[in-house]
Amino acid sequence: MFTDIHSHVIWGVDDGAETAEETFGMLKAAVADGIDTIICTPHMTPGVYEFPEEDFQAHFREASEFIETEGLNLKLLQGAEILYTDSTPRLLREGKIPTLAGSRFAMIEFSPTHSKEFIFNALQKVAGTGLVPVVAHMERYPAIGKIDEARELKRRFGALIQINARSLTRKQPFFRRKFFDALFTEGICDFIATDTHAMEGRETCMTAGMKIAEEKYGAECARRLETAARGIIRI
Ligand SMILES: [Fe+2]
């Protein structure tokens, strides 16, 4: 069974699920996809956009009740995918934005247009709060799209790296494939997660992603990815 540390399953708070029905469908799809724990990570942009916290809590409760009523083998936890802003380190330090399931891991997202300097500076500041930054879907940022940069951000800031399962299941250009090969064979990628947003188009695909990780990079690699995700919810 898998732990999905990146999911937009809670409806009405970001560009993820749009209705309660879609949330319910995505919860069932997650179970069918072999997932037994989801950390719900809605988009947050600290200090720029106000997060609809009341709606999130109400819809999270509704989703948890659905799981109970349906008897699904699924646990929902709370987190956030934090688009890095100037206010992020301060708000993290003050405990005003959530980490992943209350752990010491904070999922940080960047814009694909951010420079390497911006990203490294941001990771340094997040690490300076005492938390461990988890770079959401690292494959999306051209400025740090090479293996040397992946090694560097781990070495300098202790950052962890998450790749979307869908990026493994989709055919990738040659240099992206080489980047993935190095990330996984060197054990630099820490997590794969679904980043699911919808029932269709950006649906869950954890089993397929893990299967590819196992086939291409070995059973040990797949086990390591699974254990790392479970580790977050234990810490
Ligand atoms: Fe996301």
Confidence of residue 149 (pLDDT cuts 50, 70, 90): very high
Distance 195 CA to ligand 1 centre (A): 5
**Interior/surface letters 74-91, b for 16+ CB within 10 angstroms, e for the rest:** bebbbbbbbbbeeebbeb
Distance 217 CA to ligand 1 centre (A): 25
Return the number of other C-beta atoms located less than 10 Å from residue 112's C-beta. 10
Distance 128 CA to ligand 1 centre (A): 24
| 12-50 per-position pLDDT tens digit | 999 999 999 999 999 999 999 999 999 999 999 999 999
| 47-71 per-position pLDDT tens digit | 999 999 999 999 999 999 999 999 9
What's the rounded Cα separation, in Å, for the pair 82 and 89? Answer: 11
3-state helix, strand, coil split of the chain in percent (to 5) is: 50, 15, 35
Distance 8 CA to ligand 1 centre (A): 6
Q: What is the pLDDT of residue 235?
A: 53
Q: Are the beta carbons of 232 and 100 closer than 8 angstroms?
A: yes
Q: Among candidates 123, 56, 58, which has minimal Cα distance to 92?
A: 123
- The string of DSSP codes covering 25-80 is HHHHHHHHTTEEEEEE--EE-TTTS---HHHHHHHHHHHHHHHHHHT-S-EEEE--
- Amino acid at residue number 77: L
DSSP state of 18: -
Q: Are the beta carbons of 28 and 70 closer than 8 angstroms?
A: yes
Distance 216 CA to ligand 1 centre (A): 25
| Residues with CB in 5 Å of ion ligand 1 | 81, 195
In order of start, what are the domains of the chain with their CATH numbers? 2-234 (3.20.20.140)
Return the number of other C-beta atoms located less than 10 Å from residue 17's C-beta. 27
Q: pTM above the 0.85 mark?
A: yes
Q: Are the beta carbons of 83 and 47 closer than 8 angstroms?
A: no
